[in-house]
Chains A and B, each alone.
Chain A
């Protein structure tokens, strides 16, 4: 099992460009999450999903959109990137509300 994988690992964008981060899990988990981590800080929840076709906002959703068209994939989109979105993005999945979350390796995004 690969667990949780994220694509790409690194990306540099210019202000105003758009991109999509892909998260995939092979554990048949219902719940998936997108977090961001800024230097010296803990992770903050951006959006999450409790099942295929459902998404909800987390703590810091502005400037991001998500989609969960397939159970194993959770996409995070930036329509118009801003320097404030420079961060490391982590995806996680869990089998249920009371289950621990498994994290991917992260995507390091820089917006110039």
Chain B
């Protein structure tokens, strides 16, 4: 399964953009990159996903490099409530359905 590598932690000032990097150099051509976050010990929350084009939704933007070996999640105006563990995940197709292969994630601390 394709693995992802993320920095263990990052700090960001409130109101500034938070840029979270992820390496996925072994990703296959049909595997999507997903981002989830986990606040405290709650269940993970879906943020965004993409295959090879850049994506944007109401929560964040996802920038995927042309060779698809890395990506960056951008939270445009981070707030204190964005403090969480952010997981960059490769979605792997199985015989039936798909699975999300979680790594250790990046702890993002938004500070006032």
Q: Are A104 and B43 in contact (CB under 8 A)?
A: yes
For the complex, is B77 an interface residue (Cβ under 8 Å from A)? no
> Please, how many residues of chain A have a CB less than 8 angstroms from a CB on the other chain?
28
For the complex, is B100 an interface residue (Cβ under 8 Å from A)? yes
In the bound complex, CA of A38 to CA of B17 (Å): 30
Interface residues of B in 63-104 (CB under 8 A from A): 87, 93-100, 102-104
Chain A residues, Cβ within 8 Å of B98: 97-98
Among B87, B94, B104, the most chain A Cβ lie within 10 Å of the Cβ of B94
Q: Nearest Cβ distance between residue B36 and chain A, in whole angstroms? A: 8
Known A104-B43, A106-B42; contact A48-B100, beta-carbon cutoff 8 A? no
Question: Dominant SS at the B interface?
Answer: loop
- The interface size bin for chain B is 20 to 34
- Convert A82-112 into 0s and 1s, putting 1 for each residue whose CB lies closer than 8 angstroms to a CB of B: 0000001010100001101111111010000
Residues on B facing A (Cβ under 8 Å): 34, 41-46, 49, 87, 93-100, 102-105
Q: List 5 A-B contacts (CB under 8 A).
A: A42-B104, A42-B105, A43-B44, A48-B99, A50-B97
Beyond contacts A44-B102, A101-B100, A103-B44: 20 other A-B pairs, Cβ-Cβ < 8 A, are A4-B43, A33-B99, A42-B102, A42-B103, A43-B44, A43-B102, A54-B96, A56-B94, A56-B95, A56-B96, A58-B99, A88-B41, A92-B43, A92-B44, A97-B93, A98-B98, A101-B46, A105-B43, A106-B41, A108-B41
